[in-house]
Amino acid sequence: MFLQDIDVIDVDLCVQQPEKFIAHTRASADLSAVTPYLNAMFRTAAYNHDDRSIRFTSDRVEYTIIREQVNIAKFANRTELHELLDWFKDLVNDIYDSRGEMTPMYECRKPVPVFFIYNLLPKTNCRMCGEKSCMVFAALLNKLEADIDACPPLSEPKYAENRHKLEVAFA
Amino acid sequence: MPIYLDNGATSYPKPDEVCGAMIEYMTHNGASPGRGNYARAMDADKLVYETRKALSKLLGAPRPGQIIFTCNATESINMALKGYLRPGDRVLTTGYEHNAVARPLKKLETERGIRVELIPCAPDGTLDLSAMRSLLDGGTRLVAAAHGSNVIGCITPLGEVVGTAHERGVPVLADAAQTAGAYPIDAAALQIDMLAFTGHKGLLGPTGTGGLYLREGVVLSTLKEGGTGGMSLSPFPPDDPPDRYEAGTMNVAGIAGLRAAVSYLMGVGVDAVRRHEVELTGILLDGLDSVPGLTYYGPRDTEDRLGLVSFNIEGRDPHKVSMSLDRDYGIMVRSGLHCAPSAHRLLGTAPVGAVRASLGYFSDREDVERLVRALKEISSRGE
Ligand SMILES: Cc1ncc(COP(=O)(O)O)c(C=O)c1O
Ligand code: SF4
């Protein structure tokens, strides 16, 4: 097995979300071998080829990986942390075992600029997406923390062209 | 060699690994999980997590975090009933419940005005599911049922009970105190909403351990509040399981033992334990058939029952029979009402009760044969 174990070094309160936790952990293997594949898998990944580090979000939990170091943020408790570590370990080992059939990605995706997105939104601030304004929604789309579908007016025929442009930008 | 046939109360002996794991934790770790940040506390976290994981595999829980640790099935059942039921709710239950279910329900009846109704059933414990279906229509909010009776030995067809209850959108709490570890359970496949279990019976772990499985989405109000290790600034318990329900320092030594027990059980396989008990129960029932004046209760088919058999010898006080078994033959069984008076009412054995011999994974043919021989002697001896 490529990745045998991940040891938890410490658990602390998350600075960004004080009702959640962050953990510093150490993997028993250098994960640089799999980060380009994780980059290919996770749309939200921020990958740096210089040190092969990566940060990505899955199910609202944030993973930051540099070699053996794995930081996990925004989990609810230590039981969830261990569940996430089990999940992550299986994921890494699956990737490692099937890397022959996968295509790694060595570039960091460029974010779609907020203003470009904002210009294509209806700009009515109707709040149907659940956000305070189209600008806030645009910022979330830019961070890949929202989905175009969450804005119902965009599905109206008059926005069809705008929607298409957004879909291309995020493809 | 004395013979222990009271595994329905608590299993004995325990696998050697159980005691070993407890000593190991007490000697070399000793830290409180979920709190400190030093390496040993992290190891204690891992130990508790691995136990949850093993239990989740054994009981068919999709995720380890759905297993909440308690000190026994009684606490788990109290947590479920008191955390779920609201004033005026109606509950359907069986006529063979242990007091661990019956007494909390009684208390909620007097304090929260809940209404409790029984699913009609035959003296061998067979539930009338069509009667259950019509009872459900009256606005029932929960079905609470023992998975196996600790007196009659009958096994509740959980799949059918859950299916029937879910047709009406009613969740089910199963009391698996007698079945966990001794009878295969797949909580996810059976779609059970809440499953209470104890660590010291079929799971072969130490006393003072138990748990409650909660299906994803089931949220209870808490039975106890206190320190959970994190989010200490909040005056309220955390929202997420299992921490929400586990206030206070947990029984880590017990959990270490339970982990070893579950891993032992998984090595053997619950199916193999079940086969062993079914076979011995067959030998026991055949033997009891040959004891003059003896009546045993519950289903005759060994596939339909647990490895425990309650019986009486005509004209004999069950208490004296069990005393004689212990004093004269070194055989430990339990007599009386077994904390389940309603089951004895169903059998017509209340208020004196019956003698109960309960087998375990470590019981063997010799134990059963000696019990049968002893009962024959007692029966022929006269009062
Ligand atoms: C059917 C049943 N439910 C609940 C319990 C309570 O278990 P515990 O004493 O471990 O809480 C028992 C055992 O005594 C039992 O047999
Ligand atoms: S739903 Fe669309 S149009 Fe309405 S506020 Fe959100 S982004 Fe703007």
Q: Which of B268, B298, B333 is the last residue of a domain?
A: B268
Q: Are residues B132 and B217 in the same domain?
A: yes
Residues 6+ apart with CB under 8 A from A93: A1, A2, A3
Three-state SS at B243: helix
Distance of residue A78 Cα from the nearest chain B Cα, in angstroms: 6
Three-state SS at B269: coil
Residue at A108 is within a domain: no
For residue B233, report the distance from its CA to the centre of ligand 1, in Å. Answer: 37
Residue at A109 is within a domain: no
**What confidence score (pLDDT) does residue B192 get?**
98
In whole angstroms, give the CA distance from residue A159 to residue A95. Answer: 40
pLDDT > 70? residue B122: yes
pLDDT > 80? residue B382: no
Query: Checking phi first, is residue B192 left (phi over 0); if not, alpha (psi -120 to 50) or beta?
Result: beta
The total domain count for chain B is 2
The catalytic position among B19, B71, B154, B339 is B339
The total domain count for chain A is 2
CB B242 within 8 A of CB B108: no
For residue B300, report the distance from its CA to the centre of ligand 1, in Å. Answer: 23
pLDDT > 90? residue B269: yes
Its sign, for the CA torsion A140, A144, A149, A153, is: positive
Q: In chain B, pLDDT over 90 holds for what percent of residues?
A: 92
- Strand order across the B90-93 sheet: B67-70, B210-214, B194-198, B172-175, B140-146, B90-93, B115-118
Q: What is the CATH number of the domain that holds A10?
A: 3.30.310
Q: What is the CATH number of the domain that holds B49?
A: 3.40.640.10
**What confidence score (pLDDT) does residue A16 get?**
79
Residue at B159 is within a domain: yes
Environment class of residue A35 by beta-carbon count within 10 Å: exposed (0-12), middle (13-18) or buried (19+)?
buried
Domain ranges, residue B67: 16-268
pLDDT digits (tens, 9 = 90+) for B287-325: 999 999 999 999 999 999 999 999 999 999 999 999 999
Q: Which of A68, A101, A134 is the last residue of a domain?
A: A101
Q: Are residues A59 and A136 in the same domain?
A: no
CB B363 within 8 A of CB B347: no
Three-state SS at A90: helix
ipTM of the complex: 0.87
Residue at A1 is within a domain: no
Chain A CB contacts of B52 below 8 Å: 79
Residue B281 pLDDT level (bands cut at 50, 70, 90): very high
Residue A116, both tokens: 């470009």
Chain B CB contacts of A25 below 8 Å: none
* Number of helices (H), then strands (E), in chain A: 5, 6
Q: Are residues A10 and A85 in the same domain?
A: yes
Q: What is the CATH number of the domain that holds A146?
A: 1.10.15.40
**What confidence score (pLDDT) does residue B383 get?**
62
For the Cβ of B73 lying below 6 angstroms from any atom of ligand 1, the answer is: yes
**What confidence score (pLDDT) does residue B1 get?**
87
For residue A159, report the distance from its CA to the centre of ligand 2, in Å. Answer: 12
Residue at B36 is within a domain: yes
Residue at A106 is within a domain: no
**What confidence score (pLDDT) does residue B138 get?**
74
Residue B275 pLDDT level (bands cut at 50, 70, 90): very high
Q: Are residues A85 and A121 in the same domain?
A: no
In whole angstroms, give the CA distance from residue B156 to residue B94. Answer: 9
Mark yes or no for CB contact B243/A79 under 8 Å: yes
**What confidence score (pLDDT) does residue B145 get?**
98
Q: Are residues A14 and A77 in the same domain?
A: yes
Chain B CB contacts of A13 below 8 Å: 230
Q: Are residues A96 and A136 in the same domain?
A: no
Which residues, given as ranges, of chain A have pLDDT below 50?
none
User: Of the candidates B30, B14, B3, which has an alpha carbon nearest to the alpha carbon of residue B202?
Assistant: B14
For the Cβ of A68 lying below 6 angstroms from any atom of ligand 2, the answer is: no
Nearest to A76 among B48, B53, B240 (CB): B240
pLDDT digits (tens, 9 = 90+) for B197-238: 999 999 999 999 999 999 999 999 999 999 887 777 788 899
Residue at B184 is within a domain: yes
For residue A32, report the distance from its CA to the centre of ligand 1, in Å. Answer: 51
Domain ranges, residue A63: 6-101
Site from B32, B51, B228, B240 to mutate, A interface, most A CB atoms within 10 angstroms: B240
**What confidence score (pLDDT) does residue B228 get?**
86
CB A21 within 8 A of CB A12: yes
Mark yes or no for CB contact B34/A77 under 8 Å: yes
User: Of the candidates B338, B332, B334, B342, which has an alpha carbon nearest to the alpha carbon of residue B367?
Assistant: B332
Best residue among B74, B99, B207, B223 to mutate for probing ligand 1, ranked by most atoms within 8 Å of CB = B74
Distances (CA, A) of B344 to B104, B179, B340: 19, 20, 7
Q: Which of A74, A101, A128 is the last residue of a domain?
A: A101
pLDDT digits (tens, 9 = 90+) for B137-181: 878 999 999 999 999 999 999 999 999 999 999 999 999 999 999
Q: Are residues B87 and B164 in the same domain?
A: yes
Q: Are residues B298 and B263 in the same domain?
A: no
Q: Are residues B50 and B65 in the same domain?
A: yes
Q: Are residues B38 and B165 in the same domain?
A: yes
In whole angstroms, give the CA distance from residue B230 to residue A63. Answer: 21
Q: Are residues B230 and B288 in the same domain?
A: no
Q: What is the CATH number of the domain that holds B347?
A: 3.90.1150.10
pLDDT > 90? residue B30: yes
Q: Give the ligand with the smallest distance to the CA of A136.
A: 2
**What confidence score (pLDDT) does residue A18 get?**
79
Q: Are residues B170 and B74 in the same domain?
A: yes
Residue B199, both tokens: 């660590």
Q: Which residues of B305-323 are buried (b: 16+ CB within 10 A; e: fewer)?
A: bbbbbbbbbeebebeebbe
Q: Are residues B264 and B302 in the same domain?
A: no
Three-state SS at B193: coil
User: Of the candidates B295, B371, B379, B362, which has an alpha carbon nearest to the alpha carbon of residue B329?
Assistant: B371
Mean pLDDT of chain B: 96
At B273, which amino acid appears? V
- Strand order across the A21-27 sheet: A6-13, A21-27, A69-75, A61-66, A53-58, A46-48
Q: Are residues B224 and B277 in the same domain?
A: no
At B4, which amino acid appears? Y
Mark yes or no for CB contact B53/A86 under 8 Å: yes
